[in-house]
């Protein structure tokens, strides 16, 4: 998708520096993918806090089941 945006030069410069990308497009793709991944992880963490995982077996019982 082709998009026109107005961004501060310093922001672009930092994105290029941190991503080590050769083009602005490449840098923006990397930054957006990173941001989206962090938001997905944040949402997953929040859902686990709301409904914690339950473990029904002890470590010893799990080892026994894995050896079957």
26-63 tens-digit pLDDT: 999 999 999 999 999 999 999 999 988 888 889 899 89
Both tokens of 55, joined, read: 């473990």
- Look at residue 28 and tell me if it is in a domain: yes
- Look at residue 3 and tell me if it is in a domain: no
Q: What is the pLDDT of residue 26?
A: 97
Taking the C-alpha atoms of residue 36 and residue 42, their distance in angstroms, rounded to an integer, is 10
**Segments forming the whole domain that contains residue 62:** 9-66
How many domains are there within the chain? 1
The stretches of the chain forming alpha helices (DSSP H) are 9-19, 24-50, 59-66
- Look at residue 18 and tell me if it is in a domain: yes
- Look at residue 4 and tell me if it is in a domain: no
- Look at residue 15 and tell me if it is in a domain: yes
pLDDT tens digits along 15-26: 999 999 999 999
């Amino acid at each position: 998708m082709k998009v026109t945006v107005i961004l501060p030069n310093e922001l672009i410069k930092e994105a290029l520096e941190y991503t080590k990308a050769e083009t602005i497009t490449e840098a923006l793709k990397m930054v957006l993918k990173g941001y989206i991944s962090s938001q997905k992880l944040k949402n997953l963490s929040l859902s686990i806090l709301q409904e914690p995982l339950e473990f029904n077996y002890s470590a010893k019982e799990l080892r026994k089941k894995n050896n079957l």
